Amino acid sequence: MCIGHATATWWLSARKWFTGPKVQGSAAELAEIGASLAAAG
């Protein structure tokens, strides 16, 4: 029942506005964040 409702919601609405994950930041910014996390951990 729940899966049917989720599927119906997707086909009626969500597939029109959900475009997937977006990258936030440039490659250099992401590399800097990764380096700072590696240094901290």
pLDDT digits (tens, 9 = 90+) for 1-41: 889 888 888 788 877 887 888 888 899 999 999 999 999 87
Strand blocks (E) in 1-41 = none
- What integer pLDDT is reported at residue 7 of this predicted model? 86
- In this structure, which amino acid lies at residue 33? I
- What integer pLDDT is reported at residue 15 of this predicted model? 74
- The answer to whether the predicted template modeling score (pTM) of the entire model surpasses 0.85 is no
Tokens standing for 4?
A: 């049917």
Q: Which residues contact 11 (CB under 8 A, 6 or more apart)?
A: none
Q: Given the structure tokens 């899966």, which residue do they identify?
A: 3
